[in-house]
Amino acid sequence: MKIELASSYGFCYGVKRAIDIAQTHPGSATYGPLIHNKDEIKRLKDNFDIGLVNNLQEAQKVDSIVIRTHGIPKKELKKLKEEGKQIINATCPYVTTPQQIVEKMSSEGYSIVIFGDENHPEIKGVRSYAKDERDAFVVLNEEDLDNLPLKSKVAIVAQTTRKPQDFLKIVNALVLKAKEVRVFNTICNATFENQDAAADLAKRADIMIVIGGKHSSNTKQLHSICKNYCQDSYLIENEAELDFEWFEGKELCGISAGASTPDWIVQNVVNKIKALAN
């Protein structure tokens, strides 16, 4: 059986940057998981004593706080600063951009529409930058726009890991509902590249292995895309989740990985697949 890696996969710029930042501040703690990868978070804890706090109360125990790649709500960031914490901001620049857009456009009187998952930490953070969160609406599809109390002026941004074609559907529907629509494409280029590469490989593969955190939005998107072209597509977090039976009778195994998946985990998976194949 042949094993082929997607032409683009794994760590994006924002994740690499966040890990580099965290590693230069040993003994600090991240506010929420730095990235959506449990194994990499464990490595940071074991090798650099990078702790984890999940809320303001837990943050009382540490002096240095690393802000996660997804960002955090504006009020919580302000509170940490007021309490005199050393703030090490590892928010991905691609996430900072929609935060700034939402803050500016809402101050100019626009209703805000955010395409994404309202329970995702990135979206919670982005929405918090609206002047009035009651005028900032999170949607997942065109139907969610129905009956929203939108103003005549609307600005729309997207979660960085969403599919562009889905974003366009919502934009097109929104144009029919408002007199003025300001569209800001805040989807990350690395997301495009990884998704396109995974699709190209999945079209040829007998089996696709997508590596990444089960709670990672971009990894779940990759798995969904692969599943469209290759029915035998599996999402795993590490090599321990591989099953020998998946590979029986397969000739080409394609591998992709989410933006929070380090190369060392990908290599462990490749080595395990080679062992299973032999």
Cβ proximity of 191 and 218 under 8 Å: yes
3-class DSSP state for residue 123?
helix
Write out the two tokens for 165: 């074609």
Residues in contact with 215: Cβ distance below 8 Å, sequence separation at least 6, in sequence order: 36
Active site residue 133: no
* Helices and strands (H and E) in the chain: how many: 10, 12
Cβ proximity of 95 and 70 under 8 Å: yes
Smallest CA-to-CA distance from 88 within 19, 160, 36, 40 is with: 19
Looking at the chain, how many residues does it have? 278
- Sheet containing 207-211, strands listed edge to edge, beginning at the edge strand earlier in sequence: 2-5, 252-257, 207-211, 233-236
Which position among 40, 122, 237, 239 bears the catalytic label?
A: 122
Q: Residue 273 and residue 271: Cα distance in Å, rounded?
A: 6
Write out the two tokens for 20: 């580099």
Give the active site residues: 122
